Amino acid sequence: MHDPAKLRTMHRDRFAAEPKTFVAPGRVNLIGEHTDYAEGFVMPAAINFATLAAISPRTDGKIVIYSENYGEEKSFDASALPKKGSGHWSDYPLGVVSILAGEGHKIPGFSLTIWGDVPLGSGLSSSAAIEVATALAVLSLVGASYPGPKLARLCQRAENEFVGSSCGIMDQFISANGKENHALLLDCRDLSFKLAPIPDHVALVIANTMVKHSVAGGDYPTRRRESEAACAIIDSHRGNVPFLRDATLEDLDKWGSEMAPKSLMRARHVISENLRTVAASEALLRGDMKELGRLMTEAHHSYSQDFEGSCVEADAMVEFAQGLPGLIGARLTGGGFGGCTVNLVEQKDAEAFRHELGRRYMAKFGISPEIHICHASGGAHQID
């Protein structure tokens, strides 16, 4: 687990300077997949896996970034920052620096150490955690701060404009604004949100299929384009449908025949997922775990069948969870095509659930999955 004291020592040893330290969590999404860039609804929770960042000023005009996870240091000239990423891990922190510079902040030289335990490439938003931790660190250096929603937007822009991945705002938003023991229903149109307590007796069991997931890869943008093509057809008929958030299932009945079959399927997922996500937040708020579980199951089927965002391993991980004692609901979480499933499980059954799910997965695929019993944690903040 991430240890701020170790990070400080690491930073001091490498850069001979006393740092300020920050933490930003990864996330698990309970429901609302591929709805954020359609200006719809998502309901993630921040988790107790996080990225730590330590920062101290330098006098030589350089930006030196060290990643403990990659065991590598990269150096840049603070007065000549690149405008685009180069496909390297440093794109994520550097992208944030570049966006902040574009916002008018004069960025001085600094040393940054980043170290995290969010499993990389597993759909738990390790990149958003790096971005948000970096943003807090650099903002403190320049003596500025932003409210959580704006901070999230800037980090999303770093990913869209610098890294070149077409993600929505969910991951950065929950990393910046999460609350201990709560899920957060976010309206991705105006960034208003509602917190819903996750009852004490419920554990978040996160099961890693060990199949690598990447938002930058081809499938994510393809799905996004397909769903947006459906939206354009609806908009051409009745106007005022700039995003699928504004579309209804009736629109698909009327004009679905004009859509490419895959576009129609993607849109059906996004439109129905928005309805499910709002219903799921209402269920959680009134403590109706049974209904929440039912909606999660339905969401997984829609994600897998209509959006074709799952994979054999993730479908099996969801399937293997069914019928295990204590299960409330299970589905693939995050950008898709691999990564993790999220399982809401009665706390008292969580350990046995973890063990049996891992056993079943191992028996089928010969891979031992990492399965974590997590809880919802707080959003990004300064540690000292």
Active site residues: 171
CB of 256 to ligand GLA, least distance (A): 23
Q: Does 34 bind ligand GLA (CB under 6 A)?
A: yes
Binding-site member from 47, 151, 154, 170 for ligand GLA (CB under 6 A): 170
Q: Does 168 bind ligand GLA (CB under 6 A)?
A: yes
Q: Does 215 bind ligand GLA (CB under 6 A)?
A: yes
CB 5 within 8 A of CB 54: no
CB of 171 to ligand GLA, least distance (A): 5
C-alpha pair distances (Å), 383 with each of 52, 53, 64, 337: 9, 10, 21, 35
Q: Does 40 bind ligand GLA (CB under 6 A)?
A: no
Span interacting with ligand GLA, options 32-40, 137-145, 256-264, 310-318, rule CB under 6 A: 32-40
What phi, psi does 339 have (nearest 5°)? 85, -140
Binding-site member from 167, 252, 279, 314 for ligand GLA (CB under 6 A): 167
CB of 74 to ligand GLA, least distance (A): 23
Nearest C-alpha neighbor of 179 from the set 27, 382, 378: 378
Q: How wide is the angle at C-alpha 171 spanned by C-alphas 196 and 183, nearest 5°?
A: 10
CB 244 within 8 A of CB 273: no
Span interacting with ligand GLA, options 15-23, 167-175, 195-203, 249-257, rule CB under 6 A: 167-175
Q: Does 206 bind ligand GLA (CB under 6 A)?
A: no
CB 28 within 8 A of CB 374: yes
User: Does residue 363 sit in helix, strand or coil?
Assistant: helix
Binding-site member from 19, 28, 36, 138 for ligand GLA (CB under 6 A): 36
Q: Does 226 bind ligand GLA (CB under 6 A)?
A: no
CB 219 within 8 A of CB 73: no
Interaction pattern, residues 48-67, with ligand GLA; x per rule: CB under 6 A: --------------------
Binding-site member from 335, 358, 369, 379 for ligand GLA (CB under 6 A): 335
The helix or strand, by DSSP H or E, that contains position 97, with its residue range, turns out to be: helix 91-102
Q: Measure the CA–CA gap between 377 and 384, rounded to whole angstroms.
A: 18
CB of 44 to ligand GLA, least distance (A): 9
Binding-site member from 85, 334, 358, 369 for ligand GLA (CB under 6 A): 334
What phi, psi does 76 have (nearest 5°)? -135, 160
CB of 167 to ligand GLA, least distance (A): 3
What phi, psi does 75 have (nearest 5°)? -125, 140
Nearest C-alpha neighbor of 127 from the set 96, 148, 81: 96
Q: What residues line the site for ligand GLA (CB under 6 A)?
A: 33-34, 36-37, 167-168, 170-171, 215, 334-335
